[in-house]
Amino acid sequence: MFIDSHIYLTYSSFEGTVPCIVGSKEMERIKYMDRLQLIKKFRDNDILLCIEPGIDLESNYKILELANQYPDSLFPAIGVHPIRAPQTKWSKRKELLSLADNPSVIAIGELGLDYHYKRLKQHRIRQKMWFAWQLKLAEKSHLPMILHIRLADTDTIKILRHHKNKLNGGVCHCFNKGSDIAKIYRL
């Protein structure tokens, strides 16, 4: 059995039908499938569960709605992506809290820091604020996390240290350092 820990089925590109490669390696062909057909296809290939993380406030609502339609296949994570953090109003925390309270939510994310794009110093401060706040949310809710970390290891480790022994694990992606740094992440 496999679990896809990072899917974006709520994206508008999945409205209607999407082209998918089906068939054997020798006889591949394109078939157009809708979301339900795709989920069935996942199941046929032993991918029994998919987790979709939140990116911004709006996407969190969409994920909860879609997870409600496919409760055995799609599981929601609630969060604000670091790239979307600067544009997300700080006052929206309350809304996020109540979304995370939904019993179908299985993780917090994606949360983290992403310094790939050259941005204003102010953007990084906003990323850090949202990251730290969501870590607290993960801590309080005892849920695992979906971390998105890119080129921001020093700041990430500094912030994670405040939560040592209080977090409930999870996955980290976009990470581009070696095993020595990865070990420090395992708090």
Where on the chain is the footprint of Zn ion (CB under 5 A)? 110, 148
To Zn ion, the closest distance from the beta carbon of 147 in angstroms equals 9
Closer CB to Zn ion, 126 or 148, in the complex: 148
Please answer whether residues 185 and 150 qualify as being in contact, where contact means their C-beta atoms are separated by less than 8 angstroms: no
To Zn ion, the closest distance from the beta carbon of 17 in angstroms equals 26
Closer CB to Zn ion, 110 or 153, in the complex: 110
Please answer whether residues 70 and 91 qualify as being in contact, where contact means their C-beta atoms are separated by less than 8 angstroms: no
To Zn ion, the closest distance from the beta carbon of 174 in angstroms equals 5
Task: For residue 111, report the phi and psi dihedrals to the nearest 5 degrees.
Answer: -125, 155
Closer CB to Zn ion, 52 or 110, in the complex: 110
Contacts of 133 (CB under 8 A, 6+ apart): 93
To Zn ion, the closest distance from the beta carbon of 107 in angstroms equals 13
Nearest Cα to Cα of residue 148 among 181, 165, 170: 170
Question: Among all residues, whose Cβ is closest to Zn ion?
Answer: 148
CA dihedral 121, 99, 147, 170 (to 10 degrees): 160
Closer CB to Zn ion, 33 or 181, in the complex: 181
In Å, what is the CA distance from 93 to each residue of 85, 98, 130, 131? Answer: 11, 9, 9, 12
To Zn ion, the closest distance from the beta carbon of 162 in angstroms equals 22
Closer CB to Zn ion, 5 or 73, in the complex: 5
- C-alpha 101/C-alpha 104 separation (Å) is 9
To Zn ion, the closest distance from the beta carbon of 110 in angstroms equals 5
* Tokens describing residue 178: 């070696």
Closer CB to Zn ion, 33 or 106, in the complex: 106
